[in-house]
């Protein structure tokens, strides 16, 4: 019995050492547009004032993107991704989630607007 307790203690010590040795993953800072537009969305959705884009998701899905929000603890909540079209200096916000796992595209938003409003 004592040997089993000693073995358990040894294993617990080793697993703690291994866990403590994993370096933290550095987080990449959000772009200006992502930081600004990320403040406007939430797990409950995009602002009502945003109109759906006429552009289809398939037209922007290969553009560079970054996540600007997640669904958090909201049941059937939304996550939001920012897609950047650098050559046109515009961005799109894609909202994914909800009960049926819908995908909505909002935009285009001018990237310059972000710099003017976000410092």
The pLDDT tens digits of the residues spanning 98-119 come to 888 899 999 999 876 555 555 4
Q: What is the pTM of this model?
A: 0.69
Closest CA to 101 of 56, 62, 71: 71
Question: Residue 96: helix, strand or coil by DSSP?
Answer: strand
Spell out the alpha helix ranges (H) of 21-118: 32-38, 57-60, 111-117
The domain ranges of the chain are: 30-117
Mean pLDDT taken over the chain = 79
């Amino acid at each position: 019995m004592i040997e089993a307790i000693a073995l358990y203690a040894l294993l617990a010590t080793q697993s703690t050492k291994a866990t403590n040795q994993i370096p933290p993953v550095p987080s990449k800072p959000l772009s200006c547009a992502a930081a600004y537009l990320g403040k406007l969305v939430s797990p409950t959705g995009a602002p009502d004032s945003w109109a759906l884009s006429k552009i289809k998701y398939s037209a922007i899905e290969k553009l560079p993107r970054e996540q600007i929000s997640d669904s958090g603890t909201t049941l059937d909540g939304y996550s939001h991704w920012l897609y950047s079209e650098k050559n046109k200096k515009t961005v799109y916000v894609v909202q994914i989630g909800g009960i049926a796992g819908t995908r909505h595209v909002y935009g285009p938003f001018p990237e310059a607007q972000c710099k003017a409003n976000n410092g």
